[in-house]
C-alpha cells in the first residue's frame, strides 16, 4: 500500500501533497546545477591548469555537498525530522536566524536571481549569433559575408519572447517548457562533450600545461584565475532552490536523509561530468580554449550539430528564464499590493475574449485574464534586464560575477549560521572555529572572484569604447 505525505500550510490553508523520491530530487538537482555554466568549463580549466583546475572543481563540489547537507537539516524547525516545515529558503532563515537576517537573505537571493536573468539573456543572444555565424561560414566557405552580427537585436528578440511568457499566470502554465528546458540542457552539454572529444581525437595530443594559460602580464593572469573561480561557483550553486526541492519529498524516510542522498548523487554525477567536459575541452584546445565552447570560434563543422547544440541552449534558457523570473515577479507584485491595497489599478483584472476557429460551440471563444499591474511591472523588469545585458554583453565576466555574488551568502554563510543556531554551538568551540574558518575562506573566494569579474567587465568596456582621439 502506497503511503502519501500531505503537508498542511496553516497560513494559506493549502494542502501540499508530496510524492518525490531520492531519484526525482537527484534529477531536480542535476537540472538546477547543469546549465549554461558548463559552456565555460574548458576556459576555466585552461586558466587554472591541469593540477589546480580539477582540484578546484572537486573542492567546490565537496564544500557544496557539505553545506547542502547542513541546509537539508533546516527544512524543518526546530527538529530536522519532526519539526514544522519551511516551504522556502527564506522561511528557514527566518526561523533559525530571526527577521534581521531575512533582509540580507532576500537581497542575496533576489539579486542572484536577477543576475541570472541578465546572464541568460547574454548567453541566449550569443547562441543566436553563433547559429547565424556557423551557417554563414559554412555557406561562404569561411570567406566573405557578414559573419559577425551584433547581439543587441537578438537580445531584444529574446526579451520580447520573455514578455509574452511572463504574462502567463504561473509556472504551472509552462510546465511543458520546463521539461523541454531540462532535456535541452543535457542535450547541448553532451554535444559539447562529444565535439571536444572529437577535436581531441583529431590531433591526438594532450594540450595544456600544469600551470594553465601563460600571460605576459602577471596581473591579467591573476584576474583570469579569479574569474575562473567565479565561473566554477556559478556552475555549482543551487542552494537557493534546495529547500523547494526538498519540499517535494515524501516521508518516511525523513526528508533530510533523502535530500542528503540526492545531493550526494546529483553533485557526484555533475562533478564527474564537469571534470570530463572541462578536462576534455582543455586537452582539445589547450591554453587557447574559448570562453564559450559553442560560440567562441571553436567549432564550425559539422555545422548542423553545432546549430542543434546552440538551439538547445536557446530553448533551455527560454524556459529557465521564467523559472528564475517568477519568484521576482511574485515578490514585486506582493510588495506593491501591500503598499497600495486599495488602488484600483493594482487590484483590477480584465478579461479579454480571443476568438478561435469555431470547431465547436464550446470552443468558440477563449477568455484571457489581463492584470494591469502584472503587465506593467513584468514589462519594466524584463526591459531593464535586457538593457543591462545589452550594456554588459560579456559571457564569462557576467557568469563569474553572478557566481561570486551568490556562492558565499546562499551556499555557505546561511547554511553554516543556521547549523550553528540549530545545534546551539557556542562561540569558541572547536566546531565553531572550523565552521567559521570554512565560511571565511569561501568569503575570500567570493570577494576575489567578484574583483576578477568586475575587472574583466571594465576591461571589456574600455576595449569596446570608440577611440575618441583617433586620427
C-alpha to C-alpha distance for 251 and 76, rounded to whole angstroms: 13
Half-sphere exposure of 302 (CA within 13 A, CB side): 8
Percent helix, percent strand, percent coil in the chain, to nearest 5: 70, 5, 25
Say if CB 195 and CB 283 are below 8 A apart: no
Cell numbers at 454, concatenated: 568586475
172 has a pLDDT exceeding 60: no
Assign 18 to helix, strand or coil: strand
In whole angstroms, give the CA distance from residue 392 to residue 387.
9
**What is the rounded distance in angstroms from the CA atom of residue 125 to the CA atom of residue 390?**
10
The three-state secondary structure class of 142 is: coil
The whole-number pLDDT of residue 91 equals 87
Q: Quote the CA–CA distance of 129 and 133 in Å, as a whole number.
A: 6
Average pLDDT over residues 174-184: 67
Residue 170 has pLDDT above 60, yes or no: no
Query: Which cell numbers in the block locate residue 335?
Result: 510588495
Residue 470 pLDDT > 50, yes or no?
Answer: no
pLDDT at 414: 92
Residue 149 has pLDDT above 80, yes or no: no
Alpha-carbon span 375 to 368, nearest angstrom: 13
pLDDT value, residue 55: 94
Comparing C-alpha atoms, which of 174, 192, 190 is closest to residue 318?
A: 174
Does the structure show a pLDDT above 80 at 361?
no
Determine contact, residues 322/174, Cβ cutoff 8 Å.
yes
Residue-wise pLDDT tens digits, 224-279: 888 888 888 878 888 877 887 888 888 788 888 999 999 999 899 889 989 998 99
- Going by C-beta distance under 8 Å and a sequence separation of 6 or more, which residues neighbour residue 254? 80, 81
Model confidence, pTM:
0.78
Q: Which long-range contacts (CB under 8 A, 24 or more apart) does 5-9 make?
A: 5/249, 5/250, 5/251, 7/85, 7/247, 9/87
Percent pLDDT > 70 in the chain is 82
Amino acid at each position: 500500500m502506497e503511503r502519501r505525505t500531505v503537508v498542511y500550510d496553516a497560513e494559506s490553508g493549502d494542502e501540499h501533497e508530496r510524492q518525490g523520491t531520492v531519484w526525482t530530487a537527484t534529477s531536480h538537482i542535476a537540472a538546477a546545477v547543469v546549465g549554461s555554466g558548463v559552456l565555460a568549463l574548458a576556459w576555466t580549466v585552461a586558466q587554472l591548469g591541469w593540477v589546480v583546475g580539477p582540484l578546484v572543481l572537486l573542492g567546490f563540489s565537496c564544500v557544496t555537498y557539505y553545506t547542502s547537507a547542513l541546509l537539508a537539516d533546516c527544512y524543518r524547525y526546530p527538529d530536522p525530522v519532526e519539526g514544522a516545515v519551511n516551504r522556502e529558503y527564506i522561511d528557514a532563515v527566518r526561523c533559525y536566524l530571526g527577521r534581521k537576517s531575512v533582509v540580507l537573505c532576500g537581497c542575496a537571493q533576489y539579486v542572484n536571481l536577477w543576475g541570472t536573468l541578465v546572464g541568460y539573456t547574454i548567453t541566449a543572444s550569443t547562441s543566436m549569433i553563433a547559429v547565424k555565424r556557423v551557417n554563414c561560414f559554412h555557406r561562404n566557405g569561411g570567406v566573405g559575408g557578414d559573419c559577425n552580427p551584433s547581439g543587441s537585436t537578438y537580445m531584444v528578440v529574446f526579451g520580447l519572447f520573455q514578455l509574452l511568457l511572463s504574462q502567463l499566470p504561473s509556472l504551472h502554465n509552462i510546465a511543458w517548457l520546463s521539461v523541454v528546458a531540462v532535456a535541452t540542457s543535457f542535450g547541448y552539454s553532451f554535444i559539447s562533450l562529444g565535439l571536444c572529444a572529437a577535436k581531441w581525437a583529431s590531433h591526438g595530443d594532450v594540450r595544456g600545461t600544469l600551470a594553465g594559460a601563460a600571460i605576459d602580464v602577471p596581473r591579467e593572469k591573476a584576474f583570469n584565475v579569479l574569474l575562473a573561480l567565479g565561473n566554477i561557483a556559478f556552475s555549482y550553486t543551487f542552494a537557493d532552490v534546495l529547500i523547494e526541492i526538498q519540499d517535494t519529498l515524501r516521508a518516511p524516510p525523513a526528508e533530510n536523509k533523502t535530500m542528503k542522498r540526492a545531493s550526494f548523487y546529483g553533485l557526484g554525477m555533475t562533478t564527474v561530468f564537469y571534470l570530463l567536459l572541462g578536462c576534455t575541452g582543455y586537452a582539445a584546445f589547450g591554453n587557447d580554449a574559448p570562453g564559450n565552447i559553442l560560440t567562441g570560434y571553436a567549432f564550425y563543422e559539422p555545422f548542423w550539430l553545432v546549430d542543434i547544440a546552440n538551439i538547445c541552449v536557446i530553448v533551455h534558457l527560454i524556459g529557465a528564464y521564467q523559472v528564475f523570473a517568477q519568484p521576482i515577479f511574485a515578490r514585486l507584485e506582493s510588495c506593491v499590493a501591500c503598499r497600495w491595497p486599495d488602488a484600483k489599478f493594482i487590484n483590477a483584472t480584465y478579461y479579454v475574449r480571443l476568438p478561435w476557429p469555431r470547431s465547436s460551440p464550446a470552443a468558440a471563444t477563449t477568455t484571457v485574464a489581463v492584470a494591469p499591474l502584472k503587465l506593467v511591472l513584468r514589462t519594466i523588469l524584463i526591459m531593464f534586464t535586457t538593457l543591462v545585458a545589452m550594456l554588459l554583453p560579456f559571457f564569462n565576466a557576467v557568469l563569474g560575477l553572478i557566481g561570486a555574488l551568490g556562492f558565499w551568502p546562499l551556499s555557505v554563510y546561511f547554511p553554516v549560521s543556521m547549523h550553528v543556531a540549530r545545534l546551539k554551538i557556542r562561540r569558541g568551540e572547536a566546531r565553531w572555529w572550523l565552521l567559521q574558518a570554512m565560511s571565511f575562506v569561501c568569503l575570500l573566494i567570493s570577494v576575489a572572484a567578484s574583483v576578477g569579474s568586475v575587472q574583466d567587465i571594465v576591461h571589456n568596456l574600455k576595449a569596446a569604447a570608440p577611440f575618441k582621439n583617433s586620427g
